[in-house]
Amino acid sequence: MTKTSPILLTQVEVSELAKELGRSSLMGKTIDAHIKDLEEFMALPTDVPGHGEAGGYEHNRHKQNYTYMNLAGRLFQITRQQHYADFVIRLLEEYADKYLTFDFHVQKNTNPTGRLFHQILNEHCWLLYTSLAYSCVAEVMTDAQQQRIKNRIFEPMLDMFTVKYAHDFDRIHNHGIWAVAAVGICGLAIGKREYLDMAVYGIERNDSGGFLAQISQLFGPSGYYMEGPYYHRYAIRPTCLFAEILHRHMPEVDIYNYKGKVIGNTVNALLSTAYPNGEFPALNDASRTMSITDMGVQVAVSVYSKHYGVDDNLLGMAKIQDRVWMHSCGLVLSRALEQAEQKASVGMPFWPSVELNEGPEGTHGAQGFIRMQDKKGDVSQLVMNYGQHGMGHGNFDTLGISFFNRGQEVLREYGFARWVNVEPKFGGRYLDENKSYARQTIAHNAVTVDQKCQNNFDVARADSVHGTPHFFSVDSDVISGMSAFANQHYDGLSMQRSVFMLALDELESPLLIDLYRLAGEGDHQYDYSHQYEGQIIRTNFDYQSHQEVSTLGADNGYQHLWNIAGGKTSDTALVSWLQNNTYYTWLGTSSNDSGEVFFTRTGANDPSFNLRSEPAFIYRTHGKTSLLASILETHGYFNEEFEQSVNARGKVSSIKVLGHDDVSSVVQIFTANSLIILMVCNQLTTARSQHSVTFNKINYQWTGPYAVDITAIKQEK
């Protein structure tokens, strides 16, 4: 027999992993759970099915087959149970019998098709995991068995990916990482190192393709991936797996230090986007429920821990994950958590605020993530998108925000219009409503101008522009804020959004303050929309609930919004709602005389019930250059089961625009006990610049890009 060995584990590492069997450590629990899942799957009859629908049985079965082969290979090494190896070999032999008898799928979208799957992306995954499994069990196969597997599966696949689909192999894209990792890993596993070289340096061995080109070009200097965390976490798994392969088999690349530690940097960037509960904000068209418990992120956190070091936030994330990667990298993390918990209980992660720049040089805008902790330790997180359009997956929502606290997203991202793997829902693929609603500006927490989508929903135009950061200021315990411009997203209009979290002693949670300024020629309609969830509790204005309901508009997403109710507002408009156990009160105004609030609900023009039925409210104003300003207060507690309700009304009473021009904006907020004056620069400025403006005969002076002035007041009851 040819001498073979696992390509991702040494025998010393295997024996260290074996020591965790039956222990209550994260690694012990992980191995235990994998054994349980694998045994359940192995109890089913073996099946290598033919072609099927995306999301259908056949698709899922091939996916399960590679998933469990991957586990079984390592579990064979760790436990030395022969039946795990037999399971892999039996399945591989069945694939060897059938693979070349399957023709290529019929092409349904722009992706090349495979013999097993409707797109080669899935076939890359199959090859990657199966090659790893093969490397773990080949030692108990005969030479003839090995040869047959190579000849009838692995080599034809390598040929398909690097010859038939060569044009796709070197494309810089998240799918491309899967392609190169699969080819490189397979080449190594079957002793054809030329494929590893090709995977690392590209087919042409120049900078235009291959893993090193991918990781050099896909991420901004901050490590942010422009398609957003949902696609980032998908690419992070082959990135980390292949990095670990190179670390072991191409030490000359020094992969974990390559290009200023790009691997560690991009893992860190991904993790730093997550909400406090571990879920990823659904930036760009993404699932709302993807979280750090994803297997790819488990691999990434484990790899990061071993090669870049463990800290409290990683330990906190490992606790949420409740698993590690079943590998010596995961063992480092598992042991670190065990040690830390002997000293003190490890809490939830509290990731620092961070601005993640975009573009090859970091000059194409950024994504801002500000976090602030309240007195009880709850973390509020504010996210603003002022970076690039996310390529094919981009939403038209530059300057859109989302806001999270008390375990829930409050100003919400709708996420994609897609039911992944739900076969009766268009095969689990993206639905038409993804374009007609979910990616439109009005579907986000942003301002839609004249009922049009940003960049007219023109992807090429959107790809050519980006936001411009103004300031990102997170050093104070009292106020954190960020501000950015988007001046190329609506013709003839420049936009600036400045968002803050303000900690006041009298308030339970940080107050969200939002100043949205639109400047340019002519009159416009501004729709300042707020995607909330829950039950409207009260308003401070009269509105009309419509007896017959029609859509709010005819296109650009408006055709999907039922116009349920609406009314004119004066001065400060108030909308308060209850989301699960927490009350939220929004107060909004603008520099114009006109104000109107619409209550909407998605579901119009949705003939297949593809959309979720969700509410929003839109503050509409008309005017020339305008400043829209609002606050969002988090307050109180409601528990239906225990029939408790506390502080259902909140403490902020008004917000008013005192003045704004091209130089600065000044707003005033009254709470029960405080008068707050917030002054913001509307031009790029430095931290030391002195500013002085006069609105309505009152002069305001401050230093730096913004300032807040808080005065205690005694209000009459």
Q: Are 73 and 4 in contact (CB under 8 A)?
A: no
Residue 100 sits in the site that holds a second copy (CB under 8 A):
no
Helix or strand (DSSP H, E) at 384:
strand 379-386
216 touches a second copy by CB under 8 A: no
Residue 653 in contact with a second copy, rule: CB under 8 A: no
First-last CA distance in the chain: 89
| 33 touches a second copy by CB under 8 A | no
Among 339, 538, 624, 662, binds a second copy (CB under 8 A): 538
What minimum distance in Å lies between the beta carbon of 467 and a second copy? 30
Nearest of 535, 547, 537, 590 to residue 568 by alpha carbon:
590
- As beta bridge partners, residue 538 has 576
The pair phi, psi for residue 78, each rounded to 5°, is: -75, -40
With tokens 């079943």, the residue in question is 326
Q: Which stretch binds a second copy (CB under 8 A): 237-245, 430-438, 544-552, 709-717?
A: 544-552
Q: Which two tokens stand for residue 387?
A: 């970076």
C-alpha distances out from residue 158 to 126, 155, 162, Å: 12, 5, 6
Q: How many residues bind a second copy (CB under 8 A)?
A: 53
Stretch of residues binding a second copy (CB under 8 A), selected from 181-189, 194-202, 432-440, 633-641:
633-641
Instruction: Fill in the per-residue mask, 575 to 594: x = in contact with a second copy (CB under 8 A), - = not in contact.
Output: -x-x----------------
Residue 44 interacts with a second copy (CB under 8 A)? no
Which among 485, 306, 509, 316 is positioned nearest to 405, based on CA atoms?
Answer: 509
Closer CB to a second copy, residue 292 or residue 329? 292
Whichever of 169 and 532 has its CB closer to a second copy, that residue is 532
DSSP state, residue 647: -
**What are the b/e assignments for 118-145, b being 16+ CB within 10 Å?**
bbbbbbbbbbbbbbbbbbbbbbebeeeb
Residue positions counted in the chain: 717
Near a second copy in 272-291, by CB under 8 A: 287-291
Q: Binding segment for a second copy among 235-243, 307-315, 548-556, 705-713 (CB under 8 A)?
A: 548-556
Pick one of 107, 456, 535, 686: the residue that binds a second copy (CB under 8 A): 535
Is position 81 an interface residue for a second copy (rule: CB under 8 A)?
no
Q: Which residue among 475, 477, 548, 593 contacts a second copy (CB under 8 A)? A: 548
The radius of gyration of the chain's CA atoms, rounded to the nearest angstrom, is 28
Sorted by sequence, the CB contacts under 8 Å of residue 123 that are 6+ apart come out as 114, 115, 116, 117, 157, 160, 161
Q: Pattern 413-432, binding to a second copy, x per CB under 8 A?
A: ------xxxxxxx--x----
The Cα-based distances of 651 to 207, 569, 633, 672 in angstroms read 59, 20, 8, 5
Between residue 598 and residue 617, which ones bind a second copy under the rule CB under 8 A? 599, 601, 603-609, 612-613, 615
Q: How far apart are CA 370 and CA 100, in angstroms?
A: 53
Please report, as residue ranges, which positions from 151 to 170 form the binding site for a second copy (by CB under 8 A). Answer: none
Minimum CB distance to a second copy smaller for 151 or for 550: 550
CB count in 10 Å sphere of residue 218: 22
Q: Considering only residues 291-350, where is the footprint of a second copy by CB under 8 A?
A: 291, 293-294
Stretch that binds a second copy, among 149-157, 339-347, 473-481, 529-537 (CB under 8 A): 529-537
Chain residues binding a second copy by CB under 8 A are 55, 60, 287-291, 293-294, 419-425, 428, 535-538, 545, 547-551, 562, 564-565, 576, 578, 599, 601, 603-609, 612-613, 615, 638, 640-641, 643-646, 648-649
